[in-house]
Amino acid sequence: MKKFLILILIILMAPLIGGLYGIIHDQITYTISPEYYTKFKFYQFGLIDFETEAIFSNPRFEVSIVGFMATWWFGLLIGFILGLVGLIYKDHKQMFQVTIKALLITVIVAFLTGLIGLVYGKFYLYDTGVNWWLPDNLIDTENFIAVGSMHNFSYLGGLFGLIVGIIYSVKQKKKNTLQHHL
């Protein structure tokens, strides 16, 4: 019963952690390319009509909304999967500790992968060109592409991080089982 409650707690916490990740991530990328939001993301997430210029008195608040909306669901998915993997533990305390660490590992891997995407976008994609939709009135195309690349890589990093988190959980279980038998 306690493990089931821990699973529910993880499933409830993970979207909040995912959303917080999105908020921080998008604050960073807004700093690099405000146009990515004012000419794309604010429209994509329905914060403003497409025909209207995206001008907000405090755009960082809207950036936070976009960040949360873009990632909470991914956190839910990751939390659900890592929570299920955590059921391999007999003890609910170990399940919680290891699964939270696996979740944090996932976030770190996603962020680092996103940084790789930023560099890739800035120093490769900008030079070679992209087949994405780009607004006609872009002023800073280089940073727009770099930030778009960072966003794409971050989702990929979430998947890589999930795999690393699962491996971490399973290895911790094996390590704990081995120590228990010694």
Q: Could you read off the pLDDT of 139-181 as tens digits, one per residue?
A: 999 999 999 999 999 999 999 999 999 999 999 998 887 776 6
- The sign one gets for the Cα dihedral 148, 126, 50, 52 is positive
- CA pair distance 15, 47, nearest whole angstrom: 21
- Residues 69-119: tens digit of each pLDDT: 999 999 999 999 999 999 999 899 999 999 999 999 999 999 999 999 999
Q: Where along the chain do its domains lie? A: 2-181
Higher pLDDT, 47 or 27: 27
Phi-psi region of 50 (alpha: psi -120 to 50; beta: other; left: phi over 0): alpha
